[in-house]
Amino acid sequence: MTRSVRFLLHLVVAALAGCAIPCAAERVRDLGTFEGVRANQLTGYGIVVGLQGTGDDNLSYLTQAAKGVTHRLGLPLPPGVAPGLKNAAAVIITAELPAFAKPGQRIDITVSTLGKAKSLRGGTLVLAPLVGADGEIYAMAQGSVAVGGLGVSARDGSQVSVNVPTVGRIAGGATVERSVASGFDLAPVARFNLHGSDFLTASRIRDAIEARFPGTARVLDGVTLELVMPSGSDARSALLAEIEMLEIAPAQVPARVIINSRTGTVVMNGAVRLSSAAISHGKLVVRISEDPAVVQPAPLSAGATTVEQASGIAVNEAGDRLTVVEEGANLAEIVDALNVLGVGAADLVVILEGLKQAGALQAELVVM
């Protein structure tokens, strides 16, 4: 498979992956979210115990935390005594509290080392609180840490590491202690926010909602729609459930070309168009060869053996072809024209930048 064929396959696959089909219907729930119906981030600090010598070593904050844990259990350490903590590690705990989570429900947590611990494999997280941005406790975490990584070291300093052994996860490792008020059952209106700003898509969602529930929706801006809510949480839930399942044809995505200049990767969506343009692609190859020859002096002469230089220079200009792209050319026609020229990914980056500067590329050009 030639380089140009490989490039064509990679470009077409990438373009199809990012190409939006204007006539394809999508559910409203896939285009945005309702304001206030969101997850909240929780964080906490704790201790993982039961490690096989892979924990931290006499960190001050870990020592203080260990003293606090033993004191709560009725085992206060004498003043000046620092526990050996190679089998324990200080960790940061992170979790996501889903919308409408209620006390007693369980959520997953992620545990990450804070100090010099080498691995959390086989450890157990001691009961630790998880707080929100307001400083209030919303969950309590505890459980056995599952680690997907492996780290092994030898006495000579050699090490083998697979994935990341200093980060673990506890499925259902935290119990929700407090719910977050969303105001879902009290607010007179609900707001629906699109994932991206688009006035046409917002207008189409409004029209679909108005056709099903007249007098319910209006567009506030390119992102937000305001919905008039009935009284009672049951009626509100039924209304939003039906609105989420409405299908509309979203507006076509903006024309965009993304270029990774380091790898030569180019991705363009199906909305990319070209104005009339002529593209010439050629390569100038210069070859210089050196073929020195040894020259011997004549017999019985006073001459010396020397080296005579012999150089050759050849210039070859290949691929000097001109291709005309008609106005309004689509993605397939652009790719066909570039492959006729034998353009590789690296050359395509230069050509697209030139077309953009010339005003022939009708798309946003993003260079990474």
pTM recorded for the entire structure: 0.62
- In tens digits, the chain (368 residues) has pLDDT values of 444 444 444 444 444 444 444 446 889 999 998 888 888 999 999 889 888 888 777 666 666 666 666 666 666 666 665 565 678 888 999 999 998 899 999 999 999 988 888 888 889 998 899 999 999 999 999 999 998 866 565 555 556 666 678 899 999 999 999 988 877 777 888 899 998 888 999 999 999 999 999 999 999 998 999 999 888 888 888 999 999 999 998 888 777 777 776 766 777 777 776 666 665 655 544 555 656 777 777 776 767 777 776 666 565 555 555 555 555 556 566 666 666 666 665 566 677 777 777 666 767 777 77
Calculate the CA 208 to chain-centre distance: 32
Q: Which domains does the chain have, with CATH numbers?
A: 3-20+255-367 (no CATH), 26-37+186-248 (3.30.1360), 40-176 (no CATH)
- Tens of pLDDT, residue by residue over 96-109, are 999 889 999 999 99
- Tens of pLDDT, residue by residue over 167-208, are 999 999 999 999 888 777 778 888 999 988 889 999 999 999
